[in-house]
Amino acid sequence: MARILPRDVLRGRPTVVATDVDDAHQRIAELFCGHDLVPQAHVKSVDMKLRSLHRGDVGIEYLDYGAEVRINPEGLEDFHLVQIPLAGHARLNVGSETVDSSPRMATVPPVDRPFSMTWDSGTPHLIVYIKRIALASVATQLYGEKARDGVPLGYALDLAASPGRAFLRSVVELHDDMISQGSSTAPVFVQQLLVDTMLSRLLMAMEGAPDGGEGGNTDSKSLLIRRFRELLERHASEELAVPDIAENLGVSVRTLQSALRSELGATPSEVLRSVRLDRAREMLLAAEPGQETIVSIAERCGFSHQGRFSALYLDAFGELPSVSLRR
């Protein structure tokens, strides 16, 4: 698992510094919600450092209290937080449950139950802020209408497991885009894709997406295949390798192969080829003869060899590409 250095989080953004407990409390309350902030071990002050950057429905924060503190929030209600220690240890208490967090284990506080946290001294956090409505929207796309009111999340996110690593990579990608300036900033549709990818990976990681072996329930496999198809629809014309696809989805190659074999009776490469052929047929049927060529459409759909493309097309649709183009 790649290590994220505290100094790299929101590098170049202004750092808010506070040593007075009341001042630190006010700064965090303005950013998140009302809470009690109580230094531990007879400490009377903190050495808080805060950097924050929000864009649309998501935000990234760097927060280090510089001392052992106990935090008792009033409630999150309309947003989620994923709290990732960059060093040290922290604890999340929800009722009788306790989650010990570290750079290998993030916490996700509940939005509908009381909770408290204790952060040890020397435990800077990268915090991902997500509006509840945004996560519910992505959940609805993945799970259907039953998720419109949100999905239940656990309190722990294993960053050492494959789905957790995939989520963390998407956080880094989003972070890097958010701090980009000027012409290096990605187009709006790419920015939204980064956000949606991060939220999808969070949902997959929190539900314990299968990773390896033949296990995994039917709902998990169906969700994986739906996300697989969506990824292919967006990137079918690009050079895609099965290991890269599996990594993007946050699962192992074996898990992806097993899910496709059990539900579709096909390999990842066969599904990719089918998606590309379907796209090519749509483009050929919509094209004006003389303005488009079979070669250009084939290349745009990821086929570099026209003879091979024509043979595959004939086998799939019972006619040559030239016949479809003339329609």
Give the pLDDT score at 2.
60
In a domain, 145, yes or no: yes
Cβ atoms < 10 Å from Cβ of 133: 11
Query: Regarding predicted confidence, which is higher, 233 or 59?
Result: 59
170 close to 203: Cβ distance less than 8 angstroms = no
Are 141 and 47 contained in the same domain?
yes
Quote the pTM value.
Answer: 0.65
Among 191, 208, 225, residue at a domain's last position: 208
Cβ atoms < 10 Å from Cβ of 188: 9
Give the pLDDT score at 16.
97
Are 169 and 298 contained in the same domain?
no
How far apart CA 111 and CA 93 sit, in angstroms, is 13
Which parts of 86-215 are beta strand (E)? Answer: 90-94, 97-101, 105-107, 116-119, 125-131, 156-158
Give the pLDDT score at 210.
34
pLDDT grade for 100, boundaries at 50, 70 and 90: very high
Are 105 and 8 contained in the same domain?
yes
Nearest one of 125, 127, 24, 113 to 74, comparing CA atoms: 113
How far apart CA 150 and CA 26 sit, in angstroms, is 30
Give the pLDDT score at 131.
95
Among 160, 180, 208, residue at a domain's last position: 208
How far apart CA 30 and CA 109 sit, in angstroms, is 18
Asked if pLDDT for residue 147 goes beyond 70, the answer is no
Give the pLDDT score at 183.
46
Are 1 and 145 contained in the same domain?
yes
In a domain, 116, yes or no: yes
Are 14 and 103 contained in the same domain?
yes
pLDDT grade for 228, boundaries at 50, 70 and 90: confident
In a domain, 308, yes or no: yes
List pLDDT tens digits, range 37-95: 999 988 889 999 999 999 999 999 999 999 999 999 988 889 999 999 999 999 999 98
Instruction: Encode 52-79: b = buried (16+ Cβ within 10 Å), e = exposed.
Output: bbeeebbbbbbbbbbbbbebebeebeeb
Are 33 and 130 contained in the same domain?
yes
26 close to 194: Cβ distance less than 8 angstroms = no
Asked if pLDDT for residue 323 goes beyond 80, the answer is yes
Asked if pLDDT for residue 148 goes beyond 70, the answer is no
Asked if pLDDT for residue 144 goes beyond 80, the answer is no
In a domain, 264, yes or no: no
Are 178 and 298 contained in the same domain?
no
In a domain, 228, yes or no: no
pLDDT grade for 132, boundaries at 50, 70 and 90: very high
In a domain, 143, yes or no: yes
pLDDT grade for 1, boundaries at 50, 70 and 90: low
Instruction: Identify the domain containing residue 309 by its residue range.
Output: 271-326
Asked if pLDDT for residue 15 goes beyond 90, the answer is yes
Are 143 and 52 contained in the same domain?
yes
Give the chain's domain count. 2
Which residue type does 61 have? E
Per DSSP, the residues of 236-297 read TTS---HHHHHHHHTS-HHHHHHHHHHHTS--HHHHHHHHHHHHHHHHHHHSPBTTB-HHHH
* Percent residues over pLDDT 90 in the chain: 43
Average pLDDT, stretch 22-39?
Answer: 94
Q: What is the phi-psi region of residue 122: left when phi exceeds 0, alpha when psi lies from -120 to 50, beta otherwise?
A: left
Among 189, 208, 227, residue at a domain's last position: 208
Instruction: List the Cα angle 169/227/209 in 5-degree steps.
Output: 65
Highest mean pLDDT among 43-52, 216-225, 301-310: 43-52
Q: What is the CATH number of the domain that holds 288?
A: 1.10.10.60
Q: What is the CATH number of the domain that holds 112?
A: 2.60.120.10
Are 106 and 27 contained in the same domain?
yes
Asked if pLDDT for residue 263 goes beyond 60, the answer is yes
Start-to-end C-alpha separation, the chain: 53
Are 204 and 284 contained in the same domain?
no
Average of per-residue pLDDT values in the chain: 85
List pLDDT tens digits, range 152-211: 688 999 998 888 888 999 999 999 999 886 545 566 777 888 899 899 889 888 864 333
Are 201 and 313 contained in the same domain?
no
Give the pLDDT score at 216.
43
Are 290 and 151 contained in the same domain?
no
Instruction: Encode 82-114: b = buried (16+ Cβ within 10 Å), e = exposed.
Output: bbbbbbbebebbbeeeebebbbebbbbbbbeee
